[in-house]
A and B are shown apart, each in its own frame.
Chain A
């Protein structure tokens, strides 16, 4: 049973618009959440993270929101750019200090 779920395998957005990527988790012991971005033929690279004591973290065009009661987090990219086209993985960390990843969402930003 997947503890971290990304239910949308793909998302297409027009350049300049907002991209919203969603992630749900089931394990209430997770206390730290991350987003990684992956281009083809490269390894994932860290994008942004959030601790469970916060509900929002912002870094430039990227903002992550955490709703602990709903066990849901989302990544907002504003404005979206063609270079943002990649696979985005949500990951969660808990007391075991090991990452559990979602299955990823392929974001395509159309020019």
Chain B
């Protein structure tokens, strides 16, 4: 079955370290998204991509970057992790702009 996976599921890192969270989908979806979930804020959009080599900033993009070298993957990089980036991160994908978004299982990141 086609799916969307995230790795790692849990990560503890130190302030200032570079961290990369992986997102892989096997649906061949063009659109991919990264969100963070924090209490009281719901899910907020970090970055998104509408296809290979396309990346765009979302609502809370500062301190994060993404790259899209193929259809299946959209890794999220924290260049220099900060305690404020402690959160649960969700990746999502959809086929086209009018289609439903499907979410991965999430990565819980703790920055000490």
Contact = CB atoms under 8 A, between A and B. Distances in A.
A105 to B, nearest CB: 10
Nearest to B38: A103
B90 A44 contact: yes
Interface in A47-72: 49
Interface of A: 4, 6, 34, 36, 41-46, 49, 89, 97-104
Nearest to A6: B42
Contacts of B90: 43-44
Contacts of B45: 98-100
13 contacts: A42-B105, A43-B90, A43-B105, A46-B101, A89-B42, A97-B98, A98-B33, A98-B58, A100-B45, A101-B42, A101-B43, A101-B44, A103-B40
B97 interface: yes
A41 B106 contact: yes
Interface in B79-112: 90, 92, 97-98, 100-106
Interface of B: prevailing SS: strand
Contacts of A43: 4, 90, 92, 103-106
A44 B43 contact: yes
A103 B48 contact: no
A18 to B, nearest CB: 24
Question: 6 closest pairs, A vs B, by CB?
Answer: A43-B103, A101-B42, A97-B97, A103-B42, A101-B43, A44-B103
Given A43-B105, A44-B90, A102 B100 contact: no
Contacts of B42: 4, 6, 89, 101-104
B41 A103 contact: yes
Nearest to B40: A103
